[in-house]
Amino acid sequence: MDAVVLDPGKIGIWTHLLDTVPSERAREGASEIEEMGFGTIWIPETAGRDPFVHSSFLLSSTKKIALATGIASIYSRDAIAMASASRTLSEAFPNRFLLGVGVSHGPFVEVVRGHAWEKPVEHLRTYLESLKRAPFWAYKPEIEAPICVGALGPKALRLAAELTWGAHPYNVTADHTAMAREVMGKEAFLAPMVAVILESDPTKAREMARKDLAIYLDLPNYRNNLLRIGFTEEDLSQGGSDRLLDALRPWGDLQKISDNIQKHFDAGADHVCVQLVVDQTDYDSFKNGLPVDQWQRLAESLI
């Protein structure tokens, strides 16, 4: 991997909420996040806004914050299309775009997109190699965007360290971060996503966590990874045990949240993308559709 100039900072915001507001409000929100001091905004790809189009107008509305895809699915576009989009953003916004890619999940790929999801790690290797060789006949960026992989298991983590800047694990604990660091070695970039809940009432916090995790606990990639790092089938049943909920969706006051995020840095993370889990019935308290006040509280505590 070539030397990386992009600086993602230590703490980023991972959010799908910019997809839930009009584009103009999303641009304003990105600027507000930048002013808070976060180093990177991470945005997903499912069936919402195109992550590259979205990245372009968020980058154009900010001055220095980095934008990262977490992740762009390799089944959504071929390697040439992915490379072209990334290089276009790299040239237009030098050292501010991070290309996160991954294999997504079988149900999303097969049912939603209509592709075959077979031997995903082997397919990922072939794709990454094609990504680097992809032709680009437009004006080239001086430095191409670094690439990281949404990796969970040891095979994918090793592949991420071998062929890219590093990994962006999602829905993981600090124990997984320690395992990922050991597998990938000291040099690879490691940026786990940590979803947090600013709520000190255990019943309400776990109810929010259970709702947020509902879709993930049915996906084989996440289930297999959770079993691999020490949880049981009982932990994964009936919406998740308290032990599982507390580990994957840490909740409490700002000090408790900060302590949990620090565990990931102690385990070897270079950057932590913080996802704020919000009460879906509390949008009326947001600033024009976004939880700006809570993001600001996180910034003041973490940065």
Name the more confident of 236 and 280. Answer: 236
**Matching CATH number, 11-200+252-302, of 3.40.50.1370, 3.20.20.220, 3.40.50.720, 3.20.20.30:** 3.20.20.30
pTM (2 decimals)? Answer: 0.95
Mean pLDDT of all residues in 100-129: 74
8 Å CB contact between 13 and 273: yes
Average pLDDT value for residue range 27-45: 97
Please report the pLDDT score of residue 119 as a whole number: 78
Checking if the pLDDT of 110 tops 90, the result is no
* Whole-number pLDDT of residue 117: 60
Taking only the tens place, the pLDDT of each residue in 145-190 is 999 999 999 999 999 999 999 999 999 999 999 999 999 999 999 9
* Residue 118's pLDDT band (cuts 50, 70, 90): confident
